[in-house]
Amino acid sequence: MDLRGLTDEILLRLLKADDDKAFKEIYSRYWKPVFEAAYRRLASTEIAKELVQTIFLRIWEKRHTIQINHLQSYLQTAIKNRVINYIESTLVHKKYLQHVIDTTAGDCQGTESTVHFHELSQALEKAINRLPEKTRHVFRLSRFDHLTIREIATNLNISEKAVEYHITQSLKTLRLYLKDYLDIAL
């Protein structure tokens, strides 16, 4: 059956009924304009693709409960919000790393600062990657995507207590793993 002639409303109804062909039609119909909206704001093909994929993945995962009245508007708003969240998380990450550089700048000059910054960035990524998958995912949603505990619980279909537990565990593990780096920085 050719779904190209169907309206967005019909496609959304079919999507709620687990019709993967309806999802594929929505994806092929709207992927490019949503990608272009992200690309215009970020000027990065890879990041724009990643954000668009996240939106469509969320639509598929939440197809039974998501309430979409006007698909095109929903997608444009969703990508705008994802871009804003991405920029905010990037700025927070950069500010944190800049703070580390600034606090060590009195003792270090130029290249040495850059080396410390690079080592700390690598150590932070290694520490995050050592976390259990679920804990790592919760941590990234919390600290990089700036989602609230309630939003994370809703997105992952887990309790708020479970989210708090994962965040607490990740912070303990990161503190322990990064202890030597933080002692050097201070």
Amino acid at 82: R
Question: What is the pLDDT averaged over residues 113-125?
Answer: 75
Cα 30 to Cα 152: distance, rounded to the nearest angstrom: 26
Q: Which pLDDT score, from 0 to 100, does residue 186 have?
A: 44
Question: What is the pLDDT averaged over residues 139-148?
Answer: 87
What domains, with CATH codes, occur in the chain?
Answer: 1-88 (1.10.1740.10), 105-186 (1.10.10.10)
Q: Which pLDDT score, from 0 to 100, does residue 72 have?
A: 93
Question: Which contacts of 159-163 are long-range, i.e. CB under 8 A and separated by 24 or more positions?
Answer: 163/138
Question: What is the pLDDT averaged over residues 61-83?
Answer: 92
Does pLDDT of 40 surpass 70? yes
Does pLDDT of 156 surpass 80? yes
Torsion of CA 68, 71, 76, 81, to 10 degrees: 20
Closest CA to 156 of 131, 137, 132, 130: 137
Closest CA to 16 of 1, 4, 26: 26
